[in-house]
Amino acid sequence: MDEFSLVRKCIEGDADAYRHIVERYKDRIARVIYSMTNSSSEVEDLTQEVFIKAYRSLPRFKFDSSLHTWLYRIAVNHTIDYLRKKKLTKIFSLDGIDEWLLGRMRGTSSPESKTPEEINRSEVKELVEWGLSKLPRDAKAILVLREYEDMGYEEIADVLNISVPAVKSRLFRARTQLKKILTPALRGEL
């Protein structure tokens, strides 16, 4: 069943239809929330809150954007609000990443059970996550939506409620900032 039919059924009171929506999108929404908070302990609660908020807002769904774009917008806004309430200035915590960097500097961070290619991919991923943690909230959000969620410019504009030129400009600035943060680490200067 297509997403608009599911929305219509939900508005008519079909709880089973909403269960289908939750099942279809919960992993994607959880992934976005995790990438913004880097806290697995908060993901489940925040995901549930997003779907409760979405359920209550369904009667106001305008059918002018896709359901997943609408859900992403709710998830991003809800997570940003949550982080603001907690007065967090960074989206990723540094738990584990600082330990990895210290281990890397000491030369003790590579497990014997992985191939060199797996170690390299794992190190790059962790290094990028560390770099993302250093970015401002807005830059982090736009990079996550584009690079991790593979959203197009128009979708990102819908989610963040900004124009497409603003998306392109912010993405350019965010990528430039991330490159500036990562360059010393890639050169081994950390």
- Domain presence at residue 172: yes
73 and 114 housed in the same domain: no
pLDDT of residue 36: 83
Same domain? 142 vs 80: no
The per-residue pLDDT string of the chain (190 residues; one tens digit each, 9 = 90 and over) reads 888 888 899 899 888 999 999 999 999 999 989 888 877 888 999 999 999 999 999 998 888 888 988 999 999 989 888 877 764 333 333 334 344 444 444 444 444 444 444 445 666 777 778 888 888 888 888 888 888 788 889 989 888 889 999 999 999 999 889 888 888 776 666 5
Q: Which CATH number fits the domain that encloses residue 152?
A: 1.10.10.10
State which of 61, 85, 109 marks the end of a domain: 85
35/65 same-domain check: yes
Same structural domain, 65 and 136: no
pLDDT at 95: 38
| 43 and 119 housed in the same domain | no
Per-residue pLDDT, 25: 94
CB 78: neighbour CB atoms within 10 A?
20
Indicate whether 50 and 106 sit together in one domain. Answer: no
Residues 115 and 168 in one domain: yes
Assign residue 38 the CATH number of its domain: 1.10.1740.10
59, 85, 111 - which closes a domain: 85
What pLDDT shows up at residue 130? 82
**Residue 90 domain flag:** no
Same domain, 80 and 102: no
Q: How many domains does the chain have?
A: 2
- Give the structural domain span for 8: 3-85
Same domain, 77 and 114: no
Coil, helix or strand for 114? coil
Which of 32, 60, 85 is the last residue before a domain boundary?
85
In a domain, 157, yes or no: yes
175: in domain? yes
pLDDT (0 to 100) of residue 190: 58
Question: 156 and 182, same structural domain?
Answer: yes
92: in domain:
no
Per-residue model confidence (pLDDT) at position 82 = 85
Same domain, 103 and 170: yes
Residue 190 CB partners (closer than 8 Å, separation 6+): 101, 104, 105, 184
Cα-based angle 145, 149, 152 (whole degrees, multiple of 5): 65
Residues 74 and 118 in one domain: no
Single pTM value for the model? 0.56
152: number of CA atoms within 13 Å, CB side?
4
pLDDT of residue 178: 87
